[in-house]
Structure formats: C-alpha cells, structure tokens
Amino acid sequence: MSTVTVAKKDFKAARRSKMLWGAAIALGMIAAFVGYVAGGAEATDVRRVQSLFRTLAMFLGVLLPIVALVASYLAIAGEREGGGIKFLLSLPNTRRSVFAGKVLSRNGVVAGGIGFMYVAVISVALTRHGAFPAAVVFGTLLVTLVYGSTFVSVALAMSSAAASRSRAIAGAFGTYFVLVILFLIPVVSVSTIVGWVHTTILGADANPDVYNAIQYVSPYVAYRKAVNLVMPAEMRRNVFRSSLPEDLQYDPTAANEALPMYLQDQVSLVVLAFWLVVPLLIGYWLFERADLE
C-alpha cells in the first residue's frame, strides 16, 4: 500500500465525520454572511471586495484552527485506539508511508473546507459587488491554506504523541488555547503576562518590542501579519502598534518599515514555515518510535 493509497483511504474516512461536516457548513455560512455584510463603507466595488476578504481573514484566523484540529487530531490516535493502525502496518506498508498519507489526506480535507468557504464568499462578492480583485482573493487563499496546514501539522504531532482519543482531544483543546486564545484576548494575552512579569516582578523597564517578538511565535499572529503581504498597502493592519511611534500607529503604509526587522510582515512567512515543518518532523519521530502493540 503506497502513501497515495493510504491518503485516499484516510480521506474517504475523514470526510464521513459529522463533526467535521458540521464545522465546515457552519464556517461556510459564516463566510457567506461575511461576504454579504462586509466592505460596505469602502469607496469602490474593488475596495469593498478587498475589505471583504480582509474581514474574512480575521474570522478565519480564529475559526480555521478549530476545523484543522477537528479534522486531524484523531488521525493517528484514533487508529491506535481502534486497532486500525495494526491493520495498516500489517500490509506491505511502512510507518513513513502511513504518516505521509495521513498528512496528505488531512491537508486535503482542510483545503477542501477552505475552498468551500472561498467559493461561497466569491459567489456573494460577484453577485453583490460585481468585482474580483484576483491578487487579493488568491493571495489570501494561499496564505489561508498555509495557515490551515500549520494546524494540521500541529494536530498530527499531538495525535502521534497520544495513545488514546481522550488524550488527543485534550491535546487539541490545549493547542487551540495556547496558540490562539492566549494571543487573542488582551487581558490574558501572552504579551500582557510577559510584560507584567518583566516590569512588576523583575522590575525592568517596559520593552514592547520584546513582548511583540514573543507574540510573533504564534501562527495566529503570523497569519494576521502574512495577510498584510497580499493586501494593498493602505488596507494593511498594524498588529504591533505598541512598537510604533505614536504618529505611525494608525498609518498602515509606513508602519511596517518603521518596525524592527524581526517584527516586520515578511517574518510571518518564516514563522508559518516553522509551524508547518517542525511539528511534522516531531510527529513523525514520535510515530516511528511509538509502541503500537
């Protein structure tokens, strides 16, 4: 059984998940709603559609990790608990081909969900505004596909480390909390906590650049910064305002160049590449050494 055969078999099994279909349909409805209501304040139809996809990216930054984790967290742990992994490895098949097949299939499932959402939004945008800014549409689509894949990689690493469904579920919830929620809510965000420890407990002077650099390790923050790379300069968002001079905090055109190099938008590609590759290497290493008896 080859990697492609494993991927096809696993893809068919994954797409039967009612939870996954429910999440995809819910996100599709949200995407269509965003497409209908977003972008109304912009001056031209092209600007409205560009604003629409920027707004969609904000929603996907928070919600897409849920879909990716739900699609992938049982990829290996579920097979181990149910005994299916022994069947796969009893065939002329290696652990490498099984793991690679899982990577391909789960990324295919998530990419299909993203494609479904984009079709819904593009249809609404064309019907409502009659404009199709291809660079923004395909640019945000590419960045979103990479972002979804980073959480597939993380989920597969967690699934490789978990010997049961309960541990895999706990790992998925914990991953979402650590990589998204802690970087989303200002009161409990990583930068707030680190800043409090740095200034209150250690008694040091505040250093927003350091706090923002720590924030930048999150794939959620990196995704928000990466979206800037495919948006027109005047429509970009200043994610790290605390590192900017006061006169540039609301100036998206000049803000990125004013940041330290390690906080600029381009670094987001390095962060996303890290979360795409490193968890897969760790997951494969764990799977190769796991006792599956």
pLDDT at 38: 66
Q: Where are the beta strands (DSSP E) in the chain?
A: none
Q: How would you class 41 by CB atoms within 10 Å of its CB: exposed for 0-12, middle for 13-18, buried for 19 or more? A: exposed
Residues 236-250 have pLDDT tens digits of: 888 888 777 777 767
Q: Long-range pairs for 130-134 at CB < 8 Å and ≥24 separation?
A: 130/45, 131/44, 131/45, 131/46, 131/48, 131/49, 132/49, 133/46, 133/49, 133/50, 133/53
Is residue 171 within 8 A of residue 162, CB to CB? The reply is yes
State the pLDDT confidence band at 187, using cuts at 50, 70 and 90: low
pLDDT digits (tens, 9 = 90+) for 16-54: 666 677 777 777 777 777 767 765 666 688 888 888 899
Residue 264 backbone phi and psi in degrees, to 5:
-75, 165
22 and 9 Cβ atoms separated by less than 8 Å: no
- C-beta of residue 157 within 8 angstroms of C-beta of residue 112: no
pLDDT at 211: 86
Res. 83: pLDDT tops 80: no
pLDDT in tens, 154-167: 999 988 888 778 88
Per-residue pLDDT, 13: 74
Q: How far apart are the first and last CA of the chain?
A: 21
Tokens representing 50 are 């560009």
Q: What is the model's pTM?
A: 0.90
Distance CA 56, CA 54 (A): 5
Give the span between the Cα atoms of 207 and 198, in whole angstroms.
9
* Average predicted confidence (pLDDT) for the chain: 84
pLDDT of residue 134: 92
Q: What is the maximum span of the chain, computed from C-alpha positions, in angstroms?
A: 65
195-239 pLDDT, tens digit each: 778 788 877 777 888 888 989 999 999 999 999 999 998 888 888
